[in-house]
Chain A
Amino acid sequence: MINYFIKNFDMFGTATLEHLWIVAVTLAISVLLSTVLSYALLRVKYLEDAAIQLFSAIYSIPSLALFALMIPVMGLGNMTAVVVLTLYNQFLLLRNILSGMNSVDKNLLEAATGMGMTNFQVVTRVQLPLAFPTIIAGIRLAIISTTGIATIAACINAGGLGTVLFSGMRTMNVYKIVWGTILCAVIVLIEDLLLKMVERKLRRGAC
């Protein structure tokens, strides 16, 4: 078992790095996009529900089908995977960002305004810090979901651990399947750790 891993270290290593790349790029774009979207949606309240519904509909499309649907539009490859995964993430991220921001006590925001904070200060000093745990929970979900669904992206030649898993299935190679799964879990753990570090930094910076 271990021997197999060591002998094929190159293959596993490359797949893991490819996988990490997809997840990292997806997350960066997802968080950026959802930040912009929620900024707009918090201003145009009546579109909030419609947007959430749209992205929840997208989220409910099976990933294999969505990858297949995107091939005629974007072709094969990891960029297509990034686009699809980013679309999926919008539901998880937007839902948490919006519910986090909206659940902050309105009286508290009014108090902040009444004390003399600008709108920007109310958001950055009061609303965001209080919504922070909910937002981080959304990002954590997105990490787990992206890492998992990214394996399916191997079917559109995106590379990553999915390649190992699919090939293991085709050739009935248990080692590949088990190691592919373990590496997926390790990736989630590493990303979670990174997220915790970022979280701690941000929290210290905020106060």
Chain B
Amino acid sequence: MSQAEPDTQAPAFQLKGSMLAITVLELVRNDLDSLDRQLAAKVEQAPDFFNNTPLVLGLDKLPEGGLEVDLQALVELCRKHGLLTLAVRTGQAAYIQAAGHLDIPVLPPSGARERKLDLGGKAPAKPAEPQYRPSRVITTPIRGGQQIYAQGGDLIVIAPVSPGAELLADGNIHVYGPLRGRALAGIKGDTNARIFCQQLAAEMVSIAGHYKVAEDLRREPLWAEAVKIGLTGDVLNITRL
């Protein structure tokens, strides 16, 4: 009966306390021109950082009694460099009022310890160390209808691979037994990938999308032998192991 009506008594929200790590731009003097230039330089060093990054503007470290900063111009300047102002931190009545006009919340002056942010501009982010990916190792026969994929690495099969089975690897494929199914190495495009098998009896072999089917493979002089298969240019090379 009341199933369609929303339950007006049920809570529609939850309030949660939370600690946010947030960047504070602490202004030490009123010099928007210099700020503009210096921010531009920072952006160049660490472009990823200045990408709609939420920001608190710290105006509480400005020297007392100096010229008042044009808050609207400051907020716009920050936005230009990819920094979005969430709040202004200040205790001064003039800035509190200016923030109110701009609809920006005001935080009390800082007492807490803050860490100087190191954008590490000098050393442009080191390329991640290539991660060691253990090979996928299969020790039981792979049957028709089964598909085994070694993502991001090599596939090692220590058992026969039946007709109708499919082996896939981003890296190399090793079969210590007869390979009677399909084997596709380097499926993400690694042209250096190889296929090794103890007995070539495959329905298809493929490296980085270059393939040969059984009809062609059977004409190979090395059919039924132990072989390695690699790619030279566009050509699959089958050589004795």
- Chains A and B come from one and the same complex: no
Q: Which residues of B contact A (CB under 8 A)?
A: none
Q: Which residues of A contact B (CB under 8 A)?
A: none
